Amino acid sequence: LKKKIIIISCLLLLGGCYDRSEIEERAFVIATGIDKGETPDQIIVTFQIANPQAGVEKGPGKDEEPAEIITFPAPDFLTAKDLANSSVARKITFSHMGVFVVSEELARTDTFLQTLKSSIRERELRRHTYLIVSREKASDYIRGIDPKLETRPHKFYDLMSGRWRDTGLVPHSRLHEYFLRSETNMDSFLSIYATNENFEKKYIAEDEYLPGEIELYGGNPTQMIGSAVFKNGIMIGSLNGEETRMTLSLRPKAEAEIMLVTFPDPLDTGYKLSIRFIKQERTKIMFNKDKNPLQINVNVPINLDILAVPSGVDYITDIEKQKLLKEYLTELIEDKLIELVERTQDEFEINPFNWSSQFRREFITLDQLDAFNWRQSYPNADVKITVDLSISGFGKSLQPPPIEKIKEGKRG
Amino acid sequence: VKISDGKIGTREFVSLIALTIGAKISDITPNLLIPHGKVASWLIPIISTILIIGPFLLLIIVLKKYETKNLIEVIYITAGKYVGFLIAFILFIIMFSTTTLNSRGYVEIVASMFYQETPHSLIYLLILGGAYFIANRGLEAIGRTAWLALPYIKLSLLIYIILIWKEVHFDFLFPILGPGLKDLVVASTKQSTILGEFFLLAILFPLVRKTKDYTLGSYIGLGIAVIELSFFLALYLMVFDYPHVERLGYPFHHIARILSLGEFISNLEGIFLTFWVITGVIRFGIMLYLTAMYFSFMLKIKEFEPLLLPLTTLIFILGLLPENVATTMFVFRSEFLIQGGAPVFLFLPVILWVLSLRKKENAL
């Protein structure tokens, strides 16, 4: 009996050792890039592999590089794993991959959906890996990232992709959303748009940039701003930072809740107002599907905090001026939103605001929904947008300092 | 101190139903339902429940009449020697193949989602070994194990739901009726076998202490199981949206892989794997025990506990025969077992009831 117990307990306890894996034997890929290959059935794969020994205070790995980056051609993403082992001694593991970078060139090819689809079959790949479209080659993009504050590259990716929630300058784009949207295929999917290269620099406002256009000196060359627009799983265009923010605020579910924006001062056009833009309530979208063309009424509730008034106009205690400001901003935002909607109708012919998620509520069965054909009705739809603006706060100070007086040398 | 009488009470019976049926959310059952129900798949378990409640009430009436006899014995009494054997044989085949196919399905899940290098036969051996160990202790022990494990298993599911809640979009459940009411009812009838264990457990009728315990336990157990099935189907739809969810094998485990606690604590699926394996082992323990019961009463063998080991071995060997998950699940389970089993469960109680009425008249 004793023997039996020993044998059975060995079977139970050691059974788990078949798939054992030692951390020492693993190479953790933290970023993957894919580029278009020379032939259509080939892709160029780039793996950034973390070095856990780098940056520790003591020990042999103190001065080692934080990551190893390799690039090679492969027939698809799955077989690339084995091919990488021809030069990396450790077993390639994807379970901690943070970002998946795709070059714009590849994202715009017809076969992109299939290329990415095959990747999800990889067991270790996680659906909440962020998807980034780079303006240059993905291999160059990954090599170019050089965070000065973070020793380890994976932390940079973790933190950077999480920033969307605060700024709204880039969308929340993970492989999960990509697959979901491209299969339901009613609305478009937006992906983070990024680059390390310099494109034509310009100074506009704080958010009307595409990646590579911000005049940024020093630090990490990378710029993530704006979004790549996907239709039928393939990239068709891009939105800049401001358009991305507006897109997020037009979506039914509040995504980026608080962002800092500037608007021109209505009474003194030489200046700009700094405003905290708060959108926590749902955008209400109403449809009138009996009308032809389809009528869509959108109501966007927005709260604003006026943070800085450089012109010195007193919008805070002067109720008349406050009312004027409110009307001015309402109209301004409405105009900007409608302009964006028209652009998506004409240029993209697809809706990036997830309105279909509300539209499907209008129907009882799937057949009715399919018969209506949302994709074809949207570009011709008659969209009306109303903004419900309320000014809820004025930052930390109640009144602007009397700048004129101070300039004249008097007491403020 | 209660004296052990080999019987179980309400709470044990509730646990048996809730575990055998409730566990279906985490195997391949959702993949069999979603192609039929589409965005309204979560309605299928509810409609199925409404459909089976009538036959089930009839079954209770029949069973109450022959208080100390179990389902197979009642079938022999009412339908006679030959027809009775045929019905008993059909039920045994359903029971046996359910156990075999579902346990093999578990192996596929473990092998494709977690342990890629471990041979299938070893995983199967461990799962069935555990299940045999539980079944071998007898009904009382099975009931108690199920009752003990149930709160922990459901708690882990609750945590699972809380963690995934931020990914849920209610909009994905619309249009609310999906393929239309008619298609839904047809699908629910065809797929009502998902609640088939509910009928198969009727063989335990004389082993539950009181008739009231049995009926009450059935209702509560079925209630828990159906709510769980519906809720989780809705959850899968709300996270992945139709049609993407249709293409994901085992959505339960796909969600477990997305779960994270904040930005930095991720890769939590190992925790849920533990609870899921415990569920599976207890579930197959119950199923093995029932299989042995069906077999022995079909052949009128008095002692059925010694049959457990040979039956387990047979299930192990047969379970390894299908080549892959497509053959086990989509061909055998979906086409043969689920759609073939539905008429049996829906009509058998009616036939038994009619036969028992006739029997009474003859007796007079």
Cβ pairs bridging A and B (under 8 Å)? 85
Give the H/E segment covering residue A91. strand A91-93
Beta strands in A202-317 (DSSP E): 223-231, 234-239, 258-264, 272-278, 284-288, 295-308
Question: Which positions in chain A touch B264 (Cβ < 8 Å)?
Answer: 158
Is B362's pLDDT higher than 80? Answer: no
What is the model's pLDDT at position A398? 65
Asked whether the predicted pLDDT for residue A138 surpasses 70, the reply is: yes
Assigned token pair, B41:
């798949």
pLDDT above 90 (res B363): no
Mean pLDDT of B215-229: 91
Contact A183 B241 (CB under 8 A): yes
Q: How many CA atoms lie within 13 A of A142 on its CB side?
A: 28
- In this predicted structure, the answer to whether residue B360 has a pLDDT above a threshold of 70 is no
Split at pLDDT 50, 70, 90, the class of A27 is confident
Which residue does chain B place closest to A18, by CA atoms? B118
Single-letter amino acid, residue A145: I
B contact residues 257-286, partner A, Cβ 8 Å cutoff: 257-258, 260, 263-264, 266-267
| Per-residue model confidence as pLDDT tens digits over B77-104 | 888 888 889 989 988 988 888 888 888 8
Min Cα separation B258/chain A (Å): 6
If phi > 0 it is left, if psi is from -120 to 50 it is alpha, else beta; for residue B169 that is beta
B263 pLDDT tier (thresholds 50, 70, 90): low
By Cβ distance, the residue of B167, B171, B266 closest to A357 is: B171
Q: Say if the Cβ atoms of A126 and B119 lie within 8 Å.
A: no
Inform me whether the pLDDT recorded for B64 exceeds 80. Answer: yes
Of A179, A358, A368, the CB nearest to B171: A358
> Which pLDDT band holds residue B364 (cuts at 50, 70, 90)?
very low
CB distance B39–A12 less than 8 Å? no
Give the E-state strand segments of chain B in sequence order: none
A52/A231: higher pLDDT: A231
Phi, psi of B6 (to 5 degrees): 75, 5
pTM reported for the whole predicted model: 0.88
Question: Which helix H or strand E contains A30, and what residues bound it?
Answer: strand A26-36
Share of chain B above pLDDT 70, in %: 94
Digit-coded pLDDT (tens) for B126-137: 899 999 999 988
A16, A96, A366 ranked by CB distance to B178: nearest: A366
Question: Virtual CA dihedral for A107, A110, A116, A121, nearest 10 degrees?
Answer: 180
Q: Kindly determine whether residue B171 and residue A252, on different chains, have CB atoms separated by under 8 Å.
A: yes
Tell me if A222 sits within 8 A of A170, measured CB to CB. Answer: no
Torsion-angle region of A26 (φ positive above 0: left; ψ -120 to 50: alpha; else: beta): beta
Structure confidence at residue A214 (pLDDT): 67
pLDDT at B54 over 60: yes
Query: pLDDT tens digits for B267-308?
Result: 788 889 889 999 999 999 999 999 999 999 989 888 888 889
Percent of chain A exceeding pLDDT 90 equals 2
Among B175, B178, B240, beta carbon nearest to A180: B240
Q: Which two tokens stand for residue B99?
A: 């156990």
| A158: nearest CB among B116, B175, B263 | B263
- ipTM at complex level: 0.85
A60 burial via Cβ count (<10 Å: 0-12, 13-18, 19+): exposed
pLDDT digit string, tens, across residues B314-332: 999 988 887 776 666 666 6
Using beta carbons and an 8 Å cutoff, which residues of A are at the interface with B?
8, 11-12, 15-16, 18-19, 95-96, 123, 126-128, 158, 162, 176, 179-180, 183-184, 252-253, 357-358, 360-361, 363-369
- In tens, the pLDDT along B157-166 reads 999 999 998 8
Q: Which of A108-117, A275-284, B305-314, B319-328 has the highest mean pLDDT?
A: B305-314
Question: In angstroms, what separates the C-alpha of B283 from chain A's closest C-alpha?
Answer: 19
Residues B165-176 have pLDDT tens digits of 888 888 889 888
Q: Is B118 on the interface with A (CB under 8 A)?
A: yes
Q: Mean pLDDT, to the nearest integer, of A171-186? A: 86
- pLDDT averaged over every residue in chain B: 86
Contact at CB, B258 and A126, closer than 8 angstroms = yes
Residues in chain A with CB shorter than 8 Å from the CB of B114 are 19
Residues of B in contact with A18 (CB under 8 A): 115, 117-119, 122
Query: How close does chain A come to B126, measured CA to CA in Å?
Result: 7
CB within 8 A of B219, min separation 6: which ones? none
Q: How far is Cα B289 from Cα B133, in angstroms, rounded to an integer? A: 11
pLDDT range class, residue B223, cuts 50, 70, 90: very high
List chain B residues with CB under 8 Å of A122.
none
Find, among A125, A124, A143, A134, the residue nearest to A36 by Cα. Answer: A134
**What was the pLDDT predicted at B226?**
93
